[in-house]
Amino acid sequence: LWKYPAPTRIVTVLAFAIPMAITGDYSVAMASHVSLVASILSLLLVAWIGWRFFDPWVAVLATWFMASNFTELGLARRAWSDALAGLCGLAIIALTCWITDGRAIRLRLTMQDGYLSRFHRRFHNRSVYLAFFLAGVIGMLAKDSVVLCYAACGLLLVGFAVVDRDWSSVVWLVLGGAGSIATALLVLVFAAGGFDRAIAALPRLGLWFDMETNANSYLQACCVGPWWHFPAVLMATGPCAAILVILGVPLGFRRSWWRCSAVLTVVAGCYLGIATFGPAFQYLRFISPANGAYCLLAAIAGVRIARFVHDELGTFGKPAVAALGLLALIYGVLEYQEFCRIVVASGMQDL
């Protein structure tokens, strides 16, 4: 039975069950509608992250890349947990950027009392941290792969706090992270009806590392291959975005962006690295929590390149940028057509 997903994705079950109970429609189509809504919310969240922490044009281009992304198109039409996992991952990334961005703590207070200002600032900071921990709990209970995104963002926040010598935030993050994990486990214990049942239901990571047995025949058949298989899949399903992501890592480290860019780079790098070099993770659904970070990195590179072209070509700058925009538009349309040809027309059952 361990070839099937572990029964620990309580948030996914509730997200599917509540609309079904309200509408009386218990078909798979209703569950796929939930995935569609989660995908649309992910698009909005990508746009907000791009606009809030980077540049309005980054928001536009990242949203377009996300809307035509091969993986996202596949997740939005299926009754899987991955669209919800992608939304949860994006929420964690957004809150991490909010915490690291200096503008998040600049409150526009009308009162000038120093103590009151410090009190409101402290309350504001802690409320964002609490939202981060809550997003982590929800993400871990939506799909177990979100743990990687939550852990990476949490460790980055601790690292930033250490660099800033903000020891109170270090303590807050350590205690909050431990508390969020304990909360998720308590929810599992309550749902399972006991501690032993909850522990027995947790995923067995050994299955992903022991390819000598037949414990997970599906993974061995569909998700195992040479390391270069997964990068080749990314190039085949979105060559322009894949190349721009590589360029987006160095181009994203502007002085005002570098911490938020580091968040995107680390999250995307963790998932892409494991999918590439891991023993049985070579499938597109695995990287769903980092899909938004992937598209944002590509958009950052695209906008930086367009600005360079605009500044360097002088009189011909604007027409050249307009041509690049037209190419991006055509690229997205071609990506959607390719998705329809490969996945929809063939009836492909997995990604």
Q: Which residues contact 194 (CB under 8 A, 6 or more apart)?
A: none
CA 193/CA 187 separation, integer angstroms: 10
Count of CB atoms within 10 A of residue 321's CB?
17
In terms of Cβ atoms closer than 10 Å to its own Cβ (0-12, 13-18, 19+), residue 121 is middle
Q: pTM for the whole thing?
A: 0.89
C-alpha pair distances (Å), 122 with each of 128, 158, 163: 10, 17, 19
* pLDDT for position 46: 97
Beta strand spans in 258-351 (E): none
8: DSSP letter: T
Q: Which residues contact 349 (CB under 8 A, 6 or more apart)?
A: none
Q: Which residues contact 212 (CB under 8 A, 6 or more apart)?
A: none
Task: Report residue 115's pLDDT band, with 50, 70 and 90 as the boundaries.
Answer: very low
- Tens digit of each residue's pLDDT (9 = 90 or more) over 22-56: 999 888 889 899 999 999 999 999 999 999 999 99
Flag the least confident range among 25-39, 99-113, 335-349.
99-113
- Tens digit of each residue's pLDDT (9 = 90 or more) over 58-87: 999 999 999 999 899 999 988 888 999 999
Task: Report residue 224's pLDDT band, with 50, 70 and 90 as the boundaries.
Answer: confident
CB 292 within 8 A of CB 93: yes
- Tens digit of each residue's pLDDT (9 = 90 or more) over 140-163: 999 989 999 999 999 999 999 898
Flag the least confident range among 173-182, 295-304, 308-317, 321-330.
308-317
First CA to last CA distance, the chain: 21
- Tens digit of each residue's pLDDT (9 = 90 or more) over 290-318: 999 999 999 999 999 999 998 888 888 88
H and E: helices and strands count for the chain: 16, 0
CA 85/CA 17 separation, integer angstroms: 17
